[in-house]
Amino acid sequence: MGLKLTAVIDTEHFRIIFREQIYNITFIDNVKYQNKTLKLRAALEKR
């Protein structure tokens, strides 16, 4: 069995790096609880 990322990803320990900018994850939505798609909401980290 594969690792279920929805059980591992949280808003306190993970961030997103996109185009050399760091974003804090503010919300995670497991779409329809089918474990096929995750929607993430993120905010640009102020440096």
Q: Which domain does 28 fall in, by range?
A: 5-44
Distance (Å, rounded) from C-alpha 7 to C-alpha 5? 5
11, 5 contact by CB (below 8 A): no
Q: Where is pLDDT greater, at 35 or 26?
A: 26
* Model pLDDT, residue 38: 83
Q: What mean pLDDT do residues 8-31 have? A: 89
Of 45, 46, 38, 37, residue with least CA distance to 10: 38
Number of domains in the chain: 1
Closest CA to 43 of 16, 19, 12, 20: 16
Tokens of 15: 């961030």
Distance CA 40, CA 18 (A): 13
Q: So what's the pLDDT on residue 4? A: 59
